[in-house]
Amino acid sequence: MESTDRIGEVVLDVQDLRTYFVTRWGVVKAVDGVSFQIKRGETLGVVGESGSGKSVTALSVMRLVPSPPGHIVGGKVLLEGEDILQLDDGEMENIRGSRIGMVLQDPMTALNPVFDIEDQVGEALRIHKDMSGEGLQTEVIDMLRKVRIPAPEIRMKDFPHQLSGGMRQRVVGAIGISCDPAVLIADEPTTSLDATIQAQYLRLLRELQELTGVGIIFITHDFGIVAKMCDRVAVMYAGRVVEQGDVRQIFNNPSHPYTEALIQSVPKLEVKEERLYSIPGQPPALWNLPQGCAFADRCRYTHDKCHEAYPDTFTVDEGQIAACWLREKEAIATES
């Protein structure tokens, strides 16, 4: 396939993306200067607590932020070199579902209860590939077979309520990849699945990626899934990326205190703990962010400078960056 022949080239480049919500409490900076890249055949994990900006980042890339109250106020989203933030609504409709696909968290709300599976998987094919009749039906069956739906010729006539949770999530996955997108955004797609089905679904995504070369943005709060699924990680806190790097770099040498705390919060089966570790305190209100580092009040390494100014982004290692004043001296030593 053409897409697999170009593995490794940058397919999505997000630069200084900013999405704000105007509320009665003030301006909520839900995404505040987020930057990352996705290459073909690569999976980027986006992790962080609830409210860190993960899903709003995904909706901003898809240009699906509800307005009002949300507004994309700055930045670039380059899809294969084209800034899709500059496209009009009609042009963007042609992008969604064809060049960028999305798998939502809850398949029961993502699927329409009054249409059968054939109609819903075939919708993007009708719109973007102008397919109809027997050709469309054959393609729908093929897509369902790719996501391991048994007896797809029969199952495509079912409605969402007639399928199990795992099968519904596979159908949503089939919709996401139906038009061979360059980028697939998976927004916590395994949250509603049990451990066995979750493992099967992750393996299925990997197989589909190897087959098509699609670049995947995998949004999750589970570092265990990150270890299995992702090549690189972007850690978000209070609307910003506080650390980014290769999965092994992040696990072996977490360079931001928040990343370190998230990894420490993952239960270890080989260690018997009386009490699981939890990060003290609560994330700050996004409409009233502190002057310095947003994590300072919860950080065990904090010092005066942390409360005075938001930290610069320092290079910790090749391909690994962290926005933390603790890394300042290391960066100066490296440069000298």
CATH number of the domain that residue 209 is part of:
3.40.50.300
Residue 42: inside a domain, yes or no? yes
Phi-psi region of 150 (alpha: psi -120 to 50; beta: other; left: phi over 0): beta
Query: Residue 46, Cβ neighbours under 10 Å: how many?
Result: 30
Per residue in 278-323, pLDDT (tens digit) is 888 889 999 989 889 999 999 999 989 999 999 999 998 888 999 9
Q: Are residues 149 and 218 in the same domain?
A: no
Copy the structure tokens of residue 186: 């998976």
| Structural domain of 162 | 109-180
pLDDT in tens, 150-192: 899 999 999 999 998 888 888 988 888 888 899 999 988 877 7
0.85 surpassed by pTM: yes
Is residue 68 in a domain?
yes
Are 156 and 125 within one domain? yes
Whether the CA torsion 65, 94, 11, 199 is positive or negative: it is positive
The 3-state secondary structure of 51-69, one letter per residue: CCCHHHHHHHHCCCCCCCC
Whether residues 158 and 265 share a domain: the answer is: no
Total count of domains within the chain: 2
Residue 141 neighbours by CB under 8 Å, 6+ apart = 152, 153, 156
Sign for the pseudo-dihedral over CA of 237, 239, 243, 245:
positive
Beta strands in 69-200 (DSSP E): 70-79, 82-83, 100-103, 183-187
Q: Please tell me whether residues 66 and 167 are part of one structural domain.
A: no
Residues 171 and 190 in one domain: no
Q: What is the largest CA-CA distance in the chain?
A: 68
49 found inside a domain: yes
Indicate if 48 and 157 belong to the same structural domain: no
Are 95 and 192 in a shared domain?
A: yes
Give yes or no: residues 13 and 56 share one domain.
yes
Whether residue 265 is found in the same domain as residue 194 = yes
Same domain, 175 and 164: yes
The residue to which tokens 């919709």 are assigned? 175
Q: Does residue 268 sit in the same domain as residue 170?
A: no
Q: Residue 45: which of 242, 315, 233 has the closest Cα? A: 233
Which of 128, 152, 180 is a domain's end point?
180
Q: How confident is the model at residue 1 (pLDDT cuts 50, 70, 90)?
A: very low
